[in-house]
Structure 1
Amino acid sequence: MGAMTTRRGLFLGRQAERRRVLPPGVTLESLTACTGCGQCVEKCPTRIISLLDERPSLDFSGGECTFCGDCARACPEPVFAAEGVTRLAHVVAIGDGCLARNNVACQSCRDACPQQAIRFRPRTGGPFLPEVDVNSCSGCGACIGVCPVGAIGIADRVQEGVHA
């Protein structure tokens, strides 16, 4: 997800710090081997990899990770430690700005999710409410860029599950 500016930050001339989201198969430890050559950026077919402080980071605002492995194959260094990764180290989290949570019917995130990890449960007197099945969510980010209000972010994946 791209950097967002808060109202307060706008008045103070600050932008929110962009969080590093590691590409599939990259760990903080393996990231130290990165030389910042940008080969992974060039080879990403969905153009979601960019360099943040000369290291790869994912930005889901314009696309999703398809876990194709092109970034790993293009990297000349041992940065992409694991092969065949189909899940990222995070899951999506739907925030309070979600249209459905504010009584406006919207299910764009569900429609975009290739894993069908976002479901909507009925409620009385309003649109269905979104729920993320953290066990099904791959963290691909397909739902992030399609959210019309930018209410979807990421949360670290934990062993016990994430209350997203």
Structure 2
Amino acid sequence: MVDFAKRNLFKGSTSPSPNKPTLPWLKDPDTFFEKCTRCSKCTEHCETHVIKHSSGGFPSIDFSEGECTFCYQCAEVCPESLFINQDSSPWDNKANISDACLADKNVECRSCADACEPMAIQFQLRIGQAAKPAIDSDKCNGCGACVAICPTSAINVTVSDMDETEYGT
């Protein structure tokens, strides 16, 4: 068994990699790193190519070039029993916008809202300033469509139930 805490010491990181979520519909994200065989089937079958190899060859989500369409292909091709049924919620991830957003610099940009299919990003009008984006966490499905499109990399997707661990950029 790999000790991720020791491995991360060489990278200058003290937090273990397993705290980052990897794929939608995981049965148990805490045991994912023990059960995943790193066969690469999920990365090969991801229709949007957001599943990439990360530390130790484990698959993880990278929203820097695309979004998760929740196609369920990663789960269907996995030879291990790592996933729950597709009828369940894929994850509890939400998008967050940092102060690097162009609206905070009084520059009008609505790229993130244009990319958001569930329309979770709405803009609040402000007198004499650029409209500011706000994310409705009840509508946000954590797909990451807003991440790659943001010209200032101000958007990250975080895991709501894991102390807001950032990933995807």
TM-score (norm 1): 0.80
Report what 1:148 is aligned to: 151
Give 1:7-86 correspondences, 5 Å limit: 20-26=20-26, 27-31=28-32, 32-52=34-54, 53-86=56-89
Instruction: Give the stretch that moved more between structures: 44-53 or 28-37.
Output: 28-37
Q: Which amino acid aligns with 1:23?
A: L
Instruction: Give 5+ residue unaligned stretches, structure 2.
Output: 1-11, 162-169
Q: CA RMSD in A?
A: 2.1
Contact between 2:95 and 2:140, CA under 8 Å: does it hold in 1? yes
Instruction: Give 5+ residue unaligned stretches, structure 1.
Output: 1-13, 159-164
1:45-100, Cα deviation, whole Å (9 max, x unpaired): 10000122222210001110000111100100012234234543210000000001
SS in 1 for 2:80: coil
Report what 2:134 is aligned to: 131
Report what 1:6 is aligned to: none
Contact between 1:90 and 1:156, CA under 8 Å: does it hold in 2? yes
Give 1:99-114 correspondences, 5 Å limit: 99-114=102-117
Change in CA separation of 1:85 and 1:58 when aligned onto 2, cut-off 3 Å:
farther
Contact between 1:35 and 1:54, CA under 8 Å: does it hold in 2? no
1:103-135, Cα deviation, whole Å (9 max, x unpaired): 000000000001100000001111100000000
Change in CA separation of 1:78 and 1:43 when aligned onto 2, cut-off 3 Å:
same
Report what 2:165 is aligned to: none
TM-score (norm 2): 0.78
CA distance in 2, matches of 1:85, 1:91: 17
Contact between 1:91 and 1:156, CA under 8 Å: does it hold in 2? yes
